[in-house]
A = this chain, B = another copy of it.
Amino acid sequence: MATDPDRIWTAALIVIGDEILSGRTHDKNIAQVASWLGVQGIRLREVRVVPDVEDAIVEAVNTLRARNDYLFTTGGIGPTHDDITVDAVAAALGVEVVIHPAARAILEGYYATRGGLNEGRLRMARVPAGAELIENKMSGAPGIRLGNVFLMAGVPHITAQMLASLDGALEGGAPLLSETIGCWVAESEVAGLLRESERAHEQCQIGSYPFFREGRVGANFVIRSTDAASIAACSATVSEGLAALGREAVAGGI
């Protein structure tokens, strides 16, 4: 059975944690998960940040897993009382929480020289029934996969390790490619050019991202498509249009 080469694979991400919603912690997982998914040929379609509240997690899990190929969560899988992701996901999926024997063995090994297992540490072996483990080389406690739902750590460098252990393991489509053109111009001067360029290259989307640097305004124009030739053609249209306005296009962005 051939897979449709034009099929777009999608994912959603739920960032779980009061510390993000209070502003105390600056999230780093959205960008990291987004970039990793892009390489796998999967588009991140939506993100929700929810508090450490079971009902809020359940609602987000059930909405997002139904309408995306994959659902990732970050946060709330540690040993303390505020780590309720496993319980909430199990509730959302209508399964029990069980101790995963392999997770228990991993934690016993990891903590053998670090004071041994205790009640808090054993919490990290709890999984929704039927789940598999995702390897965590960094700190013992594994991530968790159940069907199309992936539970990852909240600490970004542990999440990075868990993502790395999933490299190439998920079915995806054509990666979304992009090319960036920078220009020292107010985006409002070239809004028409960008709109017309996008219309002329229907396989491409153009995003415009203004900035203020060195006391001057500029913008980066990001051309996205799954087709490299379309990007090259659209990029040429934008660069020529900028040149016609007396503006220099900076390949790769500013």
The chain A residues found within 8 Å of chain B, CB to CB, are 15, 17-28, 30-38, 43-52, 56, 78-82, 111, 114-115, 118-121, 123-124, 139, 155, 157, 176, 178, 186-192, 194-195, 198, 205-212, 222, 224
Nearest CB of chain B from residue A239's CB, rounded to whole Å: 17
Given A49-B46, A81-B191, A195-B80, CB of A25 within 8 Å of CB of B209: yes
Looking across the interface, which residue of chain B has its beta carbon closest to that of A47? B49
* CB <8 Å contact, B80 and A194: yes
* CB <8 Å contact, B119 and A191: yes
Q: Is the interface of A mostly helix, strand, loop or mixed?
A: mixed
Cα-based distance from A15 to B190 in the complex (angstroms): 24
Given contacts A17-B207, A23-B38, A115-B189, 18 further A-B contacts (CB under 8 A): A18-B207, A19-B207, A21-B45, A23-B36, A25-B31, A27-B31, A48-B48, A78-B208, A80-B208, A81-B191, A82-B208, A114-B186, A118-B188, A118-B191, A120-B189, A121-B191, A123-B191, A155-B212
Top-3 shortest CB links A-B: A120-B191, A23-B34, A23-B35
A46: which B residues are within 8 A, CB to CB? Answer: 21, 48-51, 56
* CB <8 Å contact, A81 and B22: no
Copies in the complex: 2
Cα-based distance from A216 to B78 in the complex (angstroms): 17
* CB <8 Å contact, B30 and A188: no
Looking across the interface, which residue of chain B has its beta carbon closest to that of A117? B188
Given A22-B224, A45-B21, A195-B81, CB of A188 within 8 Å of CB of B34: no
* CB <8 Å contact, A222 and B24: yes
A34: which B residues are within 8 A, CB to CB? Answer: 20-23
Say which residue of B25, B47, B210 sits within 8 Å of A155 (CB atoms).
B210
